[in-house]
Amino acid sequence: MPNKILQAIFERRSRREFTDKPVAMEDLQEIVKAGIWAPSGLNNQPWRFVVITDAKTREQLSTTTHYSHIVLGAQALIGVFLDSDAVYDVVKDHQSVGACIQNMLLAAESLDLGGVWLGQILKNKEKVNQIIAIDQRYELMAMLALGHPAHRNQKSNRQDLNHFILKMI
Ligand SMILES: Cc1cc2nc3c(=O)[nH]c(=O)nc-3n(C[C@H](O)[C@H](O)[C@H](O)COP(=O)(O)O)c2cc1C
């Protein structure tokens, strides 16, 4: 596909199985950098991050989600938070964090890494903050599980475009 951006969007898949190879800190920083270059309402940049590679912390966090096997298998995690003290508009700030997370997933793929957006863990978001020792004013939006993918065989599907486009006037 000649269009690299569209190719990256269409070929990104959620990667849930990883090798034991550690993820370079520079790559994790690059992924966060891609996140912060997402658009945000009023350029408010309400996102905050906790980058986690420490094995003990990853093990503790694995107890907070149904997807413990993914958390345990990932060599790195990035917690994406909304700074509640920085919110100017609840809807727009949440939308901005979503854009940030998508940028991060695409960046991970472009660095030959892979990852998955974990949302189920939000059920235990207060416990996550306790484990990583950050103030509850930072509201967990997602935990990204990242690593070197064990394979890239994942398939996904979408409904037909006509299902989503209500009108083309
Ligand atoms: C808000 C949100 C929450 C998600 N939570 C989880 C999760 O807790 N566990 C998981 O394995 N995948 C989770 N996913 C990944 C979706 O299952 C995945 O994006 C979807 O099935 C489409 O597959 P694809 O990403 O490979 O295109 C989540 C995705 C989003 C956007």
Is 68 within the bounds of a domain?
yes
Find where tokens 């978001």 sit: 125
Residue ID of nearest Cα to ligand 1 atom 15: 117
% of the chain surpassing 70 pLDDT: 99
- Is the whole model's pTM more than 0.85, yes or no? yes
Q: Residue 78 contacts by C-beta under 8 Å, 6 or more apart in sequence?
A: 28, 31, 32, 49, 50, 51, 52, 104, 143, 144, 146
Atom of ligand 1 nearest to the CA of 66: 8
Atom of ligand 1 nearest to the CA of 67: 9
How many distinct structural domains can be found in the chain? Answer: 1
Is 97 within the bounds of a domain?
yes
Compute, in angstroms, the gap from residue 63 CA to the centroid of ligand 1: 19
Could you tell me if the CB of 17 is within 6 A of ligand 1?
A: no
Residue 136 has pLDDT above 80, yes or no: yes
Residue ID of nearest Cα to ligand 1 atom 6: 118
Tell me if 122 sits within 8 A of 139, measured CB to CB. Answer: no
DSSP codes of every residue in 11-45? H------B-SPPPPHHHHHHHHHHHHTS--GGG--
pLDDT tens digits for range 60-87: 999 999 999 999 999 999 999 999 999 9
Is 5 within the bounds of a domain?
no
Could you tell me if the CB of 14 is within 6 A of ligand 1?
A: yes
Residue 134 has pLDDT above 90, yes or no: yes
Is 79 within the bounds of a domain?
yes
Is 168 within the bounds of a domain?
no
Domain that holds residue 82: 15-151
Confidence bin at 2 (pLDDT 50/70/90):
confident
- Domain with residue 75: its CATH number is 3.40.109.10
Is 25 within the bounds of a domain?
yes
Could you tell me if the CB of 67 is within 6 A of ligand 1?
A: yes
Helix 90-110 with 25-36: angle, nearest 10 deg: 140
84-113 average pLDDT score: 98
